[in-house]
Chains A and B, each alone.
Chain A
């Protein structure tokens, strides 16, 4: 079964960005350009945080709008990025209703979650977890 990253309870998120930095660190980089997780306040720190991750949809809109098939489907849900095919049009960014397709401005390519789960253990408050996908195939 394919796995994906689940947001167990965004209400526990403290906005520490540990997950975002972990995502970028997996390929060995500091900073945030290589991160595919996006944590932002829910309208100011007082209101808590929104944690945006790729939910590995079974029929992902990002893939459907890609003019060059640079985002082929992953078996079990979600997509993979074929960077050599990407022309940097950003259609995928526009298409994702969650805003989970982030943009790496340094390479002019989308940052696509690879569902590796490297980030989850760095969340100090168990907001994130790798889980077997349970959604129904369409």
Chain B
């Protein structure tokens, strides 16, 4: 086990706390990592099998973590087993603060262990704990409980772990952190599993000196006040992102029954308003974030064998999970939705890819592309949660070829069973919960990680719908690029994207300056564009080709608030984006 799992402090505690005026261009979080030895190629060998020991896992934080609120994300980079290309996934919880407080700018994990382990990083000490007894535990909750009880650092630690889905290589397995937060997308859980790495516990409690104490406190107060009082943050702390359900539905942009429609008659039952009124049990926060956007619903289930006996659990909900396993599966039974979300948490699955994959399977079942022979007796019907929960367990267990295919996502399953026209994947990644117009889908198609968070195309659509302006490919390509470049800066600083309205360029400069990094507007613009270019170059190196990007036919069939999407418009915009990236 010579090289595994190596944990390299990329910034020594001394370096990270130095307050001399370094230029930021020497260390943006994402680039510093991947370019640690000069280029991305050096960390991730060309053509590496994502499940092979050579696939690196890089977890990076940024210079504002531990100094300012809402700089609370960890960016994980890896090669994705789901898309076979660039993997990037971001999680909050306590992960970012714990990594920085332990004295690290990034953690790099390579190789494979001979037997299951979990890693414990306590400041400068790294321990390898035998995890063979934890392997194949039925619930990722239990794994978290055991690590919590065995390890120190309560309150200032992050506990990341995988479930069975990661162990068994489901290509959209997640890494769970602190329960209810996830490195959800693109299959980091499967990469952990391929290394026989069950989890990672990291803790520490350093101090971070600043250049000017008084200025630091003043700027802190400005950011803190905006985070707690500004209207731009209100939706996150009141109803949470689930407040999007009703407005999207009203405009016909809520993907329903595998996007056969953009309108869900029963949307009211799964709305943020309804969930808050009837189910919201607790709100929790990521470390160093006063917003507390994490909404936990209570799931109260009777025990069938005894009257007056209940089990009450907490289930995290947001717009994306509600769309993915609610409207997209044609279901409005909140108890069923919560049980399916809970099952995804137990197994350690990305709930968005799971929902979209199950939606494809349901439509394929209805159209007779698959039958109970493939599903092994399960009747996949819209809103049939007991069947969906059973199917989810089988996706992890993989008892036959059909479930082995579903374990690789909707696009792969469609190559075997047909139905690609309604497999809602973009760059092989399953879609998010917006069908607002061409902009959102172009964002999923072109974005470096094929996520709605890359470039917020839905916002371009919504602005056009509000102003009545007709979109042109030029406008959309330029809008996506501009937003995605700026988001490279924010995500490299690991500022939560919910705080993008607070971390304006001016605040970014000021906060960086107090952390000891001097930069100009030009620097930031150049760095953002450069990071995006490098990501795209990496993707092309690994075989990504914009000209052959698959546009699922379904998105062209179901009208959006901006009308029916024209394929020519899409191709033209992709071409413009590609030329200008």
Convert B287-298 into 0s and 1s, putting 1 for each residue whose CB lies closer than 8 angstroms to a CB of A: 111111000100
Chain B residues 131-156 with CB under 8 Å of chain A are 141, 144-145, 148, 154-156
Contact A15 B288 (CB under 8 A): no
Q: A44-B145, A46-B179 are in contact. Are A105 and B288 (CB under 8 A)?
A: no
Contact A44 B66 (CB under 8 A): no
Q: A31-B206, A106-B206 are in contact. Are A38 and B179 (CB under 8 A)?
A: no
The answer to whether B370 has its CB under 8 Å from any CB of chain A is no
Interface size, chain A (Cβ < 8 Å): 31
The answer to whether B205 has its CB under 8 Å from any CB of chain A is yes
A118 to B313, CA, bound (A): 36
The answer to whether A70 has its CB under 8 Å from any CB of chain B is no
Contact B69 A18 (CB under 8 A): yes
Contact A46 B296 (CB under 8 A): yes
Chain A residues 31-54 with CB under 8 Å of chain B are 31-35, 38-41, 43-46, 48
A120 cross-chain contacts in B, Cβ below 8 A:
none
Convert A18-37 into 0s and 1s, putting 1 for each residue whose CB lies closer than 8 angstroms to a CB of B: 10010011011111111100
The answer to whether B207 has its CB under 8 Å from any CB of chain A is yes
Q: Which one of B66, B178, B224, B291 lies within 8 Å of A31 (CB-CB)?
A: B66
Q: A16-B285, A16-B290, A31-B66 are in contact. Are A44 and B179 (CB under 8 A)?
A: yes
Shortest Cβ distance from residue B179 to the other chain A in the assembled complex, whole angstroms: 5
For B314, give the chain A residue with the smallest CB separation.
Answer: A46
Q: A30-B67, A32-B101, A44-B144 are in contact. Are A14 and B292 (CB under 8 A)?
A: yes
Shortest Cβ distance from residue A94 to the other chain B in the assembled complex, whole angstroms: 15
A17 to B224, CA, bound (A): 13
A102 to B295, CA, bound (A): 30
Contact B290 A18 (CB under 8 A): yes
Contact A16 B210 (CB under 8 A): no
Convert B215-239 into 0s and 1s, putting 1 for each residue whose CB lies closer than 8 angstroms to a CB of A: 0110010001000100000000000
Shortest Cβ distance from residue B527 to the other chain A in the assembled complex, whole angstroms: 23
The answer to whether B283 has its CB under 8 Å from any CB of chain A is yes
Q: Which one of B101, B178, B290, B313 lies within 8 Å of A45 (CB-CB)?
A: B178
Q: Which one of B144, B155, B179, B209 lies within 8 Å of A39 (CB-CB)?
A: B155
Contact B284 A45 (CB under 8 A): yes
Shortest Cβ distance from residue A65 to the other chain B in the assembled complex, whole angstroms: 22
Contact A17 B287 (CB under 8 A): yes
Convert B314-325 into 0s and 1s, putting 1 for each residue whose CB lies closer than 8 angstroms to a CB of A: 100000000000
B66 cross-chain contacts in A, Cβ below 8 A:
21, 30-32
Contact A24 B207 (CB under 8 A): yes
Q: How large is the interface on B (under 10, 10 to 19, 20 to 34, 35 or more residues)?
A: 35 or more
Q: A33-B205, A39-B155 are in contact. Are A15 and B220 (CB under 8 A)?
A: no
A83 cross-chain contacts in B, Cβ below 8 A:
none
Contact A29 B287 (CB under 8 A): no
The answer to whether A124 has its CB under 8 Å from any CB of chain B is yes
Contact A48 B282 (CB under 8 A): yes
Shortest Cβ distance from residue B276 to the other chain A in the assembled complex, whole angstroms: 15
Q: Which of A28, A34, A125 has the most CB of B within 10 A?
A: A28
For B292, give the chain A residue with the smallest CB separation.
Answer: A14
For A24, give the chain B residue with the smallest CB separation.
Answer: B207
A76 to B290, CA, bound (A): 33
Q: A14-B292, A18-B69, A28-B217 are in contact. Are A40 and B210 (CB under 8 A)?
A: no
The answer to whether B498 has its CB under 8 Å from any CB of chain A is no
B284 cross-chain contacts in A, Cβ below 8 A:
14-15, 45
Contact A30 B290 (CB under 8 A): no
Contact A32 B148 (CB under 8 A): no
Contact B155 A25 (CB under 8 A): no
The answer to whether B48 has its CB under 8 Å from any CB of chain A is no
Shortest Cβ distance from residue B515 to the other chain A in the assembled complex, whole angstroms: 8
A36 to B207, CA, bound (A): 13
The answer to whether B180 has its CB under 8 Å from any CB of chain A is yes
Contact B216 A31 (CB under 8 A): no
B283 cross-chain contacts in A, Cβ below 8 A:
14
The answer to whether B380 has its CB under 8 Å from any CB of chain A is no
For B312, give the chain A residue with the smallest CB separation.
Answer: A46
The answer to whether B213 has its CB under 8 Å from any CB of chain A is yes
A25 to B313, CA, bound (A): 37
A31 to B217, CA, bound (A): 13
Q: Which one of A16, A34, A44, A46 lies within 8 Å of B289 (CB-CB)?
A: A16
Contact B154 A40 (CB under 8 A): yes
Shortest Cβ distance from residue A77 to the other chain B in the assembled complex, whole angstroms: 25
Chain B residues 172-220 with CB under 8 Å of chain A are 178-180, 205-210, 213-214, 216-217, 220
Contact A31 B288 (CB under 8 A): no
The answer to whether B97 has its CB under 8 Å from any CB of chain A is yes
Shortest Cβ distance from residue A138 to the other chain B in the assembled complex, whole angstroms: 31
Contact B287 A30 (CB under 8 A): no
B289 cross-chain contacts in A, Cβ below 8 A:
16
A124 to B230, CA, bound (A): 13
Contact A29 B207 (CB under 8 A): yes
Q: A14-B283, A17-B288, A48-B282 are in contact. Are A29 and B154 (CB under 8 A)?
A: no
13 of the cross-chain contacts (CB-CB < 8 Å) are A16-B285, A16-B292, A18-B224, A31-B208, A32-B97, A33-B207, A44-B141, A45-B179, A45-B284, A106-B207, A122-B224, A122-B290, A125-B292
Further contacts, 8 of them, CB under 8 A, given A15-B285, A16-B287, A28-B216: A14-B285, A18-B224, A25-B217, A31-B205, A35-B205, A44-B144, A48-B282, A125-B292
Which 9 residue pairs of A and B lie closest in terms of their CB atoms, listed nearest first?
A28-B213, A40-B155, A30-B208, A16-B285, A33-B207, A14-B292, A31-B208, A30-B67, A31-B207
